[in-house]
Amino acid sequence: MVRKKLIIFILVLLGISLNAQENFILHNFNVVPQNYMTNPAIKSPSRFVFGFPVLSSIHAGFNSNSFSFDDLLIEDPHSDSLRLDLEGVIGSLTNDLAFDLNVQEELFFLGFKFQKGFISLGVGHQTEANFSLDKEFLELLWYGNADDRFFSRTVDFGGTDFSVISYLQFHLGFSYEIDKDWIVGTRIKFLKGLANVDVEKFEGTMLTRSDENTVFAIETTSNILINTSMMDDWRFFDDDFEDGEDFEFMDVLRQKNSGMAFDFGFRYTGFDKIEIAASIIDFGKINWKENIVNYSTDEVEYSFTGIEYEDINDD
């Protein structure tokens, strides 16, 4: 009895100190084979599971600290339709806008039972994006720099940050039923990076004011560093990029942006009406070594005081 209470106490502490996974619904939904995504300690009622593109697992998630879809989409009083209320969302922000996107697609999955074990293998595609947009920057885009909020005032949008990562994962998993109460599992993943964009530094200001030549003179500063690593066919900023190039799957396997990750998990069913499950997912990294390109502004200062009509007329 003391051992069971100790287990519960430790798990409660872990739940307080760690961020939970997104897939709460799948975590203990044992009748759905895709619950292996949240815990490699699989307890599947099926002896054989097979998944293939389109009809296999597809997961999409969106999280925001600032607004919900009910705030973004409101009823149009002049019709029976919904409309985007961007102004309302921006006006309600008390801090910077932050949101996360997560898309997972299982391209292939195979799993089967044998005695007290379960073996699984598969191929999946995952994309994760994290955005943090400075509130003043959003207001500047929406209301314009001539608005009373910004005229004759320096706007600082240094709180802007974002990162995007997309990769393929080839995974092999194994779970084992130790006894009637305990199931443990692990999974190894071989990762192939497709794209990685990370803002290391994003500092910028803008001042709109009047001078002797024009009503709207603009002074800006920027110090931006964006690190990227993408496949050749995906590098849109290169001069030799051609839209519509053929995508070769073997190019993904040959490129050097590779890595490894591990999943660990367990399930305990020793209580009468309670099942305890916990896992660590995607413990690893990708080494981005190929097609690395960094974009920077190197502390630029720029003043714009208008364009001479004569210059436009000459050219």
In the chain, what is the greatest distance between 2 CA atoms, to the nearest angstrom?
90
Amino acid at 191: L
- Whether the Cβ atoms of residue 83 and residue 71 lie closer than 8 Å to each other: no
User: At a CB cut-off of 8 Å and minimum separation 6, what does 145 contact?
Assistant: 151, 155, 206, 208, 216, 218
State the Cα angle at 37 between 34 and 42, rounded to 5°: 75
Query: DSSP states of 238-268 as a string?
Result: STT--TTPPPPHHHHHHSS-EEEEEEEEEEE
Torsion angles phi and psi, residue 9, rounded to 5: -60, -45
Distance CA 123, CA 253 (A): 13
**Residue-number span of the structural domain to which 200 is assigned:** 2-314
Q: Give the single-character DSSP code of 150.
A: T
Distance CA 133, CA 312 (A): 36
Q: Judging by DSSP bridges, how do beta strands 258-268 and 276-287 pair with one another?
A: antiparallel
| Count: domains in the chain | 1
What does the pLDDT profile of the chain (315 residues) look like in tens digits? 444 444 444 444 443 333 444 455 666 666 666 677 788 887 777 888 888 877 777 777 777 766 666 667 777 777 778 777 777 777 777 677 778 888 888 888 898 988 889 999 999 999 999 988 877 888 888 888 888 888 888 888 777 888 999 999 999 999 999 998 999 999 999 999 999 999 988 888 888 888 777 778 888 898 889 999 987 655 444 445 454 455 566 777 777 899 999 999 998 988 888 888 889 999 999 999 888 999 988 788 888 877 777 766 665
SS3 211: coil
Q: Could you list the beta-strand ranges (E) of the chain.
A: 48-51, 58-64, 73-75, 82-84, 97-114, 117-133, 154-156, 161-177, 182-209, 217-230, 258-268, 276-287, 292-296, 300-304
SS3 182: strand
- Whether the Cβ atoms of residue 110 and residue 118 lie closer than 8 Å to each other: no
- Whether the Cβ atoms of residue 236 and residue 268 lie closer than 8 Å to each other: no
Q: What are the residues facing 73 on neighbouring strands?
A: 84
